[in-house]
Amino acid sequence: MTLNITLRALSDPTRRKILELLKKQDLAAGELGKDFDITLPSLSHHLSVLKQANLVVSQRQGQEIIYSLNLSVFEEIAEKLYKFFKK
Amino acid sequence: MTLNITLRALSDPTRRKILELLKKQDLAAGELGKDFDITLPSLSHHLSVLKQANLVVSQRQGQEIIYSLNLSVFEEIAEKLYKFFKK
DNA sequence: TAGATATTTAGACAATTATCTAAATTATAT
DNA sequence: ATATAATTTAGATAATTGTCTAAATATCTA
C-alpha cells in the first residue's frame, strides 16, 4: 500500500470519522450510517476507499456486512508516517 | 492547526515531494521548481497550501523567497497522527 | 528611474471526488 | 417463490482542487 493511497484515504473527514467509530467497535454499514448525514451509497463509497487503502476490512455476516479496522496496516502506516516526518 | 488541514495538505504527491526536498535543504521557490513539471504559479499554490497547514515557513531574502520546513509543527503532527492511529 | 529577475495573485478551465437517485445484488424469512 | 432487509453498483451532477496564462508585486542593478 503506497503512502499516497493511504493519505488520500485519510484526507477526508467523513472517512476519518468512520475510522474513529471503528476504533470503538466493529460496525455494519447501516450502523455506521446512523452517525452521518449522507446517504448509504455515499457512505458505501467511503468504505470502499478505506478498503482500497487497506485501512479497513469487511466481512459478511448474514445480511449485514461488518466493517472493522485493519490493525496491522494501522501500525505499518504509523511507521511510514513516522519516517516521513523524521527529518 | 487541525488534523484536517494537515492531512489535506499532505494528500497531494507534489506537496509531499516539496517537503522531501525541503528536508535536505531550504530552497527558494524557483529552485524547487526545477524538480517539477508544473508551472511556477502552480508550485506557488502548493507552497501556499503547505504554509496554511503550517508545514513550511517562508522568508524573503532579496529577490528570492526561501522556504523551509516548520520542524516544530512536524513534531506536533507526528504526535497527532500517532494518537489517531493508536487504537 | 528603467529594466531584469523572482514570485505571487487573479481568473479561467480541466480533472478529480463526493454526493445523489435508481437499480442491482445478496441473504433471510414467510 | 416472493417479499423484505442490507448493501453495493451505475450513472449523473455538483463541489473541490490542480493547473494554466496573463498580469501584478517586490527586489535588485545599471
For testing contact with chain A, the best of B1, B3, B69, B84 (most A CBs within 10 A):
B84
Buried b (16+ CB within 10 A) or exposed e, B61-76: eeeeeebebbeebbee
What value, to the nearest 5°, has the Cα angle with vertex B79 and ends B73 and B83?
A: 145
Residue the block writes with cell 496496516: A73
Per-residue pLDDT of chain A (87 residues; tens, 9 = 90+): 788 999 999 999 999 999 999 999 999 999 999 999 999 999 999 999 999 999 999 999 999 999 999 988 888 887 888 888 776
How many structural domains are present in chain B? Answer: 1
What residues make up the domain containing A26? 3-85
Instruction: Say if the Cβ atoms of A11 and B11 lie within 8 Å.
Output: yes
CATH number of the domain that B17 lies in? 1.10.10.10
Indicate the residue type of B7: L
Find the residue closest to D25 using CA and C1' atoms: B63
**What pLDDT is attached to residue B82?**
80
